[in-house]
Amino acid sequence: MAVKQPQTQMRPTTTPETSGAVQTGAPKMRAAGINFYYGKFRALHDVSLEFATNKVTALIGPSGCGKSTFLRNLNRINETLRDTRIEGEITLDGENILTRDVTEIRRRIGMVFQRPNPFPKSIFDNIIYGPRINGMLKTISAADIVEKSLRRAALWDEVKDKLRESAYALSGGQQQRLCIARALAVDPEVLLLDEPCSALDPIATAKIEDLLVGLKSQCTIVIVTHNMQQAARVADTTGFFLLGRLIEHDKTDTIFKNPSKKETEDYITGRFG
């Protein structure tokens, strides 16, 4: 099967979007007036943000600022928590995801977490888990899905001869790429990543970053990161959160060269607090 591989041999030489206004093309996703509560605690205050199609958006901010909470609302993972409440609207291609079938939403909007969390199964079974429960194996062979997903996650060459081995036998960086491959196996339109490299070494981090740059032509990506250099390297636009509010969202170049808000500048220059 001929599958175009993302570039992984060499670090990307193309830079993300440069200066100017935030991408204003038709957004893939749009969050409007989001308020989110853990019990009585209001974690998000009237957050509105658009995610441009086939772009990488980074969300940065200090711990507890609400960026992960916001990300987890984008595929309704927060609904699994007790005593939480959301107000506002989140749309995917113009449709409000808050009123759609949650299983369908999570197939279309995949998520990768901070720590690699492969299932206690073989590499093959990890990948095929999502397609199986989503009924995708009726039309495509499991082997094809596994190869395609692992190639998209730049992992195929490293694991093609040990697909039946336990996923736990992989290194941390490989496990995280396996989790990305698992998320990609159901062909999501949006990929959410919550600090996906925070537990990885610089080499594994570089592989994930290269992967994201290669993947954005296939899906829209939103990444939460504490690593500002990572945001600068991979993101087309960057949003800065503080105390549950979106302070500023602009082209990544603008955010890191000449942000318009003092709070943003104080944070990215290390003068915050």
Partner 1 sequence: MRPFEEDFKHLNDTLQEMGALVAHSIQRSVLSIVEKNEDYAHQVIRDESRVDQMEIQIDEMVTSLIVREQPMARDMRLVVSAIKISTDLERMGDLAVHIAERALSLMMQPALPEPVNFGEIANLVESMVLSSLESFVKRDAQTARGILEMDNAVDKARHGIQRKLIELMQKDTSTIVRALDYLIVARKLERIGDHATNIAEDVIFLAQGVDVRHRVAEVA
Q: Decide whether 195 or 253 has the Cβ nearer to partner 1.
A: 253
Beta strands (DSSP E) in the chain are 27-38, 41-52, 56-60, 84-92, 95-96, 109-112, 190-194, 220-224, 237-242, 245-251
Q: Hey, what are 218's tokens?
A: 């296939």
Contact status, residue 23 vs residue 236, Cβ threshold 8 Å? yes
* Minimum distance, C-beta of residue 103 to partner 1, in the bound complex (Å): 41
20, with CB counted inside 10 A (0-12, 13-18, 19+), is exposed
Site for partner 1 in 169-228 (CB under 8 A): 228
Sheet holding 109-112, edge to edge: 109-112, 190-194, 220-224, 56-60, 237-242, 245-251
Q: Decide whether 85 or 257 has the Cβ nearer to partner 1.
A: 257
* Minimum distance, C-beta of residue 270 to partner 1, in the bound complex (Å): 7
124: contact with partner 1 by CB under 8 A: no
Q: With CB under 8 A as the contact rule, which of the stretches 65-73, 77-85, 158-166, 254-262 interacts with partner 1?
A: 254-262
- Please identify which residue in 46, 147, 263, 265 interacts with partner 1, judged by CB under 8 A: 265
The DSSP bridge partners found for residue 242 are 245
* Minimum distance, C-beta of residue 87 to partner 1, in the bound complex (Å): 33
270: contact with partner 1 by CB under 8 A: yes
Q: Decide whether 147 or 265 has the Cβ nearer to partner 1.
A: 265
Task: Pick the closest to residue 89 from 77, 74, 104 (CA basis).
Answer: 74
> Does an H or E element contain 19, and which?
none
Region of residue 54 (phi > 0: left; psi between -120 and 50: alpha; otherwise: beta): left
Q: Decide whether 124 or 241 has the Cβ nearer to partner 1.
A: 241
User: Residue 166 contacts by C-beta under 8 Å, 6 or more apart in sequence?
Assistant: 120, 121, 122, 123
What radius of gyration do the chain's Cα atoms show?
18
Q: With CB under 8 A as the contact rule, which of the stretches 24-32, 99-107, 200-208, 252-260 interacts with partner 1?
A: 252-260
* Minimum distance, C-beta of residue 13 to partner 1, in the bound complex (Å): 20
147: contact with partner 1 by CB under 8 A: no
127, with CB counted inside 10 A (0-12, 13-18, 19+), is buried
Q: Decide whether 162 or 262 has the Cβ nearer to partner 1.
A: 262
Q: Decide whether 76 or 226 has the Cβ nearer to partner 1.
A: 226
18: contact with partner 1 by CB under 8 A: no
Site for partner 1 in 224-243 (CB under 8 A): 228-229, 232
* Minimum distance, C-beta of residue 257 to partner 1, in the bound complex (Å): 6
Residues that bind partner 1 (CB under 8 A): 228-229, 232, 256-259, 264-265, 268-271
